[in-house]
Structure 1
Amino acid sequence: MRAYGPAAPVELAPGVDATLVTDYAAALQVLQNPDAFTRDSRRWRALEDGFLPQDSPVLGMMGYRPNVLFADGAEHLRLRQAVSDSLARLDAYRVSRHVERVSAYLADQFKYKGTVDLLNDYAKPLTFLVFNELFGASAEIGDRLIHGFTGIFDGIDAESANQELAGSLIQLVAQKRAEPGDDITSWMMEHPAKLSDEEMLHQITIMLGAGIEPERNLIANGLLLILSDERFFGGLYGGGLLVEDALNEVLWNSPPIANYATHFPVRDTELGGVKLPAYSPVLISFAAANTDPALSSSRQMLSKRAHLAWGAGPHACPIKESASLIATGAIERLLNEVPDIELAVPAESLEWRPGVFHRALSALPARFTPVQRPTTPATAADRGPTVGSGQARGRAERKGWWSSFLNWWRV
């Protein structure tokens, strides 16, 4: 695609044409220029004119929703301040402690077995459980949130999953209106922006959706690099610095969100000689921009903050510090719990989930020497359902990861 210049014509799905920016400097030009590029997909000309298939799989990610991601100007600033100010109240120590608790709980489910799917049995539930705590979800609401998001992300009965998700969020907002707590949901309600219940629902949806899926893929992709690259494998168990280095390399070379940040030019324009029709979708390839050959001679000298995996400009990720903290803590704790862990299959045989937007593994099987079970009565088996592979994981999901974790923590 680089042969086209800084951007290339692509077909995201049948009948959905777009332009994909692959050049680092051009990507910054789009991301940092809201006057020339709008995020409001209601202005998508082909969609307005009825030329797009209404059942297109990409519309779920690109179609308009009344949240901060698709807002511009004063409305974006109002919503962004409510989101950013609330996230800024997160205490790093609190986040780290909760990651430790959740990691210990999950490791307690599989460390006696000797095998684990590090994506589906560790990174995925860990991210759900951590975000449930940060947003103040009760046991019942947390279980419903997980069920809804899991169905949407995995494409399982999406209509039912959407209904479950909407119902759980309505319940969460109503609960926090009645009984505010020390959590992101309550902080957003208290914000001077005075978000309505409907605005709350849409902001929480995008915050959770944009946090959970990329976060679990960041953890899994980081673990894959650590367990498959000789520069890391066998040398990480003494501290966190190398974990941070591994995650930084993932964000440069294998970002969890590979292509996204849909923009629409407000007029016919050019980007490095490439013509962009007004109100046609322009997406940023974070993966391509980060590996732009023009950066090859200086990439090693670039700051870890110079990659575009977190975006840039007014829509840059507002929770990148906490996201990095969660991923680092999750990997460190795992390596402490099972220090001889290794991939159970060759790295090149792993499968990646198909999709335009993400860089996501389907599974990450690993093996290790099983930890000997304690002889005390309060073993992991006594603490509720496990989240191991196959039927065990299915039982845990049906009974509820969040309520199971809360029960385990009370023991």
Structure 2
Amino acid sequence: MPPENSRLPYEELRRRWGSVAPVEILPSVTAWLVLDHQAALEVIWNERLFSSDARRWNAGIDPGWAANAPQLVMLGPRPSVSRLDAQEHRRQRHALTGVLDQIDLPRLRRLVQQQADHLVDRWAPRATADLVAEYSRPLTWTVFAHLFGFSPQSIPALEALVDAVTGTADDAAYADAELLEAMCRLVNARVATPGPDLASWLIHATPLTDTEIAHNLVQLLLFGATSTVNWVGNALRLLLSDSLVSSSVATGRLTPSDVLDRTLMDDPPAPNIAGRWATEDIMFAGHAVRAGDLLIPCLAAANNDPAILGGRAVHTSGRAHLAWGTGAHGCPAKDMARLIAETAVDVALRRLGEPRLDTPGSATVSRQSLWCSGPAELPVAFTPVHPEHRTEAPPELPDVLPVPERTRTGGAEEGETTQRWGWWNSMTGW
């Protein structure tokens, strides 16, 4: 597989291999990269042939190897909704979506808008800003920490851990274990003292065990926070770098929501789905796939499959993307993520007037790995804006969930402790 700091030569792979290409993630670690839209749909939808459970992997992973393979941490098994199949998956997904449905979306929109306006107020008078470091990152992380039940003081540590795991840093395995430990502490605290947050609702209003809750919170943070930061960053980069898109927004042919969909199609914040495993020996797209082989649906390639692009014009949004996944394993929090991203882009458009990229040659530095893709920075210059009522203190964060009644429906057995767990510890059981 080409280096992570370059775009994969999808067309070259298609010409040589067809819809599915054999790739090497690491020396002697192979996978099938699924390139075409229809083939990706088949892998995502067909749970009978393609499992989400990494315990099926035939790679023969051992603890020493895994600890030195940061690219693989996101692929490991977990007792969470994204890594289970059949009845266990449905049980956890029903519990998770039931809690997410309790979020007051109008209040969440007001929360995001207040925080976005506050961030703009801080740097608008100086006429320059980094829209990643000073806008999309702090905005997204403030919202996610509040939703989860973490204090603002916890954000820098959580952000660093998630960046290490999704960016495949050398210490990704350690960061993954530390992130789980942080969720364990949160769960233990909310068992005794519920709050107006997702952790409390998962504990006191679902039958999930404490271990399952901790792992699902890890997954929501890994996939949700980073993807939302990158989604906002990619959308703003598109608006700043493509005059045809920005003029289409200015004339009303595109809405901010359309721009976000266009970004998911052309530059998805999560370029690859973190793994499916063949359940039996099959012929797939002309290739002999063995039971336990890893398949990686490549969203960045599938979304740009010539078979579905046709004559799509620049002023169309393009909603054939697979950025949310699809089927039973589609993203359970996509409505929440879209609300955050739409509000962030809308506030930026409303407040900044006509910003321009403030980089040589309008080039931007990207942060890319197998699992995330977005601008590492997005420096802009614009006409200074002086807020009428600027305050240094951030606005108080409104609750978007009530405090659950303390009537735990099941989950943890009395005396259960949430275990610190590294994915490489077990490929055959939890």
Shorter-normalised TM range: 0.7 to 0.9
Partner of 2:223: 210
Residue 163 of structure 1 deviates from its aligned partner by 6.1
Query: CA 1:358–1:279 in 2, change beyond 3 Å: closer, same or farther?
Result: same
Partner of 2:126, secondary structure, is: coil
User: Structure 2: how far apart are the matches of 1:91 and 1:210?
Assistant: 21
Query: CA 1:408–1:113 in 2, change beyond 3 Å: closer, same or farther?
Result: farther
User: Structure 1: how far apart are the matches of 2:62 and 2:164?
Assistant: 31
User: Structure 1: how far apart are the matches of 2:177 and 2:85?
Assistant: 28
Matched, 1:27 2:40: yes
Q: Where does 1:48-197 land on structure 2 (aligned, <5 Å)?
A: 48=61, 54-142=67-155, 144-150=157-163, 152-153=165-166, 155=169, 161-162=175-176, 165-192=179-206, 194-197=207-210
Letter in 2 for 1:287: A
Q: Which range moves more in the overlay, 84-93 or 163-172?
A: 163-172
Query: CA 1:260–1:207 in 2, change beyond 3 Å: closer, same or farther?
Result: same
Aligned partners of 2:45 and 2:326 also within 8 Å? yes
Unaligned runs of at least 5 residues, structure 1: 384-404
Letter in 2 for 1:336: R
Matched, 1:258 2:271: yes
Letter in 1 for 2:186: L
Partner of 1:249: 262
Residue 127 of structure 1 deviates from its aligned partner by 0.9
User: Structure 2: how far apart are the matches of 1:197 and 1:153?
Assistant: 24
Which of 2, 12, 28 pairs up with 2:14? 2
Residue 169 of structure 1 deviates from its aligned partner by 2.0
Deviation by residue 1:144-203 (Cα, 9 ceiling, x = unmatched): 5345435545648657755653443233212322222332222222334x1222111111
Letter in 1 for 2:20: A
Deviation by residue 1:75-127 (Cα, 9 ceiling, x = unmatched): 11111111111112222202211111210221122112221111122111111
Partner of 1:330: 344
Letter in 2 for 1:370: P
Partner of 1:221, secondary structure, is: helix
Q: Which range moves more in the overlay, 86-95 or 155-164?
A: 155-164
> Alpha carbon RMSD of aligned pairs, Å?
2.9
* TM-score of the two chains, using structure 1 as the length reference: 0.84
Aligned partners of 1:19 and 1:282 also within 8 Å? yes
Deviation by residue 1:248-268 (Cα, 9 ceiling, x = unmatched): 111111111111241111111
Aligned partners of 2:73 and 2:172 also within 8 Å? no
User: Structure 1: how far apart are the matches of 2:200 and 2:252?
Assistant: 35
Aligned length: 383
Residue 406 of structure 1 deviates from its aligned partner by 6.3
Partner of 2:377, secondary structure, is: coil
Partner of 2:297: 284
Partner of 1:260, secondary structure, is: coil
User: Structure 2: how far apart are the matches of 1:310 and 1:347?
Assistant: 33
Residue 350 of structure 1 deviates from its aligned partner by 1.5
User: Structure 1: how far apart are the matches of 2:119 and 2:170?
Assistant: 24
Partner of 1:349: 363
* TM-score of the two chains, using structure 2 as the length reference: 0.81
Partner of 1:14: 27
Identity level (%): 35
Aligned partners of 2:232 and 2:341 also within 8 Å? yes
Partner of 2:408: none
User: Structure 1: how far apart are the matches of 2:140 and 2:78?
Assistant: 24
Query: CA 1:150–1:54 in 2, change beyond 3 Å: closer, same or farther?
Result: closer
Aligned partners of 1:15 and 1:52 also within 8 Å? no
User: Structure 1: how far apart are the matches of 2:126 and 2:247?
Assistant: 21
Deviation by residue 1:5-24 (Cα, 9 ceiling, x = unmatched): 11011112333211011111
Partner of 1:259, secondary structure, is: coil
User: Structure 1: how far apart are the matches of 2:257 and 2:76?
Assistant: 35
Q: Which range moves more in the overlay, 216-225 or 168-177?
A: 168-177
Aligned partners of 2:33 and 2:296 also within 8 Å? yes
Partner of 1:386: none
Partner of 2:328: 314
Q: Which range moves more in the overlay, 159-168 or 71-80?
A: 159-168
Query: CA 1:162–1:275 in 2, change beyond 3 Å: closer, same or farther?
Result: closer
User: Structure 1: how far apart are the matches of 2:62 and 2:282?
Assistant: 21
Partner of 1:251, secondary structure, is: helix
Partner of 1:389: none
Partner of 1:275: 288
Letter in 2 for 1:286: L
